[in-house]
Structure 1
Amino acid sequence: MGKALAHWRERHWHGDALAKTTSAWRWPGLVLAFAFLATIAFMPQFTDAIDVGLPTGWLLFGFAAQALFTARLAVQWAASERAGKSVVNASFWWWSMAGGLMLGFYFAMRGDPVGYLGQLFGTLVYARNLWLIAVGRRWAVAGLVAMLASSVAAYYHLPPQEAHGGGLPWGWLAFGFGAQGLFTARMLVQWLASERAKASVVPVAFWWLSIAGGFCLGLYFIRRGDPVGVIGQLFGVVVYARNLWLMRVNDEKVVVAERADSAPEPASEPALRSPPQASDRG
């Protein structure tokens, strides 16, 4: 643990590295703050629209879940700004798994099948990516099992009328399912591309589908009166657009996920360094 902390401080909190890290977090921090303040500004409207009957504690749980889920995008954006290109590390999938589990339970408790089904399929893809990167495979499988178990418990906790759309008109519910289908298609595209490459990869189509699906889901969550869903989509669309721009600037079609930030491996570190060359002796 001590070596891992020292390695992280060496990379991010010394000299030029500190300046690069601070600069990289400038735009993610500003946009995240704007998304939060914009959601707070419209909170009275959202609060009036919430009629599922969840206690304030569950709403706070939802915000905590969304904060964890949104952190993956903030970290990914900052890492991309620091590298000058679109970067996806193992931490992106770890944050996705943790936040997805909490959000799935929150949406299940709200009786929102649109939000819940998206997180259920997403958790499957997150687990598969962690498996392909070969980090924490047991935890990935455990997360998927936890999602299924918690969602079943939440479903039986809800009254029948709340377990089928939470009282929204069928037209908006159909729109929500269509938006979620578009948004979830990005995960299917990413999964198929990863299986073809036998590695965790993120194609450019992933970000295009994220923008289209995220925008439509944002409208659905506004109509539903769910500030937890709104703040995630509001911040997410900006990050998706930035990744598209970085991939275009660097003329990239696919980004290969890295595992550098997942867990340090001191034993293998010397092997990554080039041995001294005999020719250097003059």
Structure 2
Amino acid sequence: MIAEPLERGLAEEIEKGKVTMKMTNKERGKFFETNYQWDLLASRNIWAFGPEEQGPNILVNDTLPSEVDTKLLTSVKESIKQGFQWGAREGPLCDEPIRGVKFRILDASVAQEPIFRGGGQVIPTARRVCYSSFLMATPRLLEPVYYVEVQAPADCVAAVYTVLARRRGHVTKDTPKPGSPLYTMQAFIPVLDANGFETDLRMATQGQAFCQMHFDHWSVVPGDPTDTSIKLRPLEPASGQALARDLVLKTRRRKGLSDSIAVSKYLEDETIIAISASGNADLLG
């Protein structure tokens, strides 16, 4: 299996229910072909969205009938789907849901004997292959972002900019409010840094500014969460490219998980040896 990012906007369309697994194969295929230029084979071989029915990840069967025993693969389809749902619900970075990923099954070796391909064997295996393909595809951490609308007098505008900049926020638009001495500012601020933002804003403007916030979108956290070369110092806030690594480690420690996010945990010994022999040992973490 390999993991790839979904096309921009596709995750939101799945969540809004514009494309569902309840559609016929033909309707769903048409949607992906027309809107996202998927090829016919891939668009008609979507097995599942996950987690749950309307999750923002896709499982696609990209195997070729000439290379894989289709009948055997179909017999374990439900188990693979369950493994994918489990993996998408609890990602390998910090045990949180995965978002915006397309998992493509490229090859499968399924045992002939039914006793060796029960759910007990296939579901954990499908989850492990989702994890390993995800970790080998340079994963990134996503954080929720608030849309903020601030109303303040003209002489407080500079203070609002300063408070937002301190919290990784940025103003997208500021306009004077007709018929009043107020300015309306539209901005984005990461939810993680929005804690205490309103109090900070009131203090900086002597209580003259007030704001409204609501969730707007997901944004990529700067940096590589799997980069072990980043050194984090205790009691010092991380910044810049170290932010993703800092967030991942703090979340894992809070949940009682180990600091190691090595892909080798999810691979068979033979695969690890093959990757090491090919000179890609740095992929193993």
| TM-score, with structure 2 as normaliser | 0.21
Q: Which protein has the larger Cα radius of gyration, Structure 1 or Structure 2?
A: 2
Q: Which has the higher contact order (CA 8 A, sep 6+)?
A: 1
Structure (1/2) with the larger strand percentage? 2
Structure (1/2) with the larger helix percentage? 1
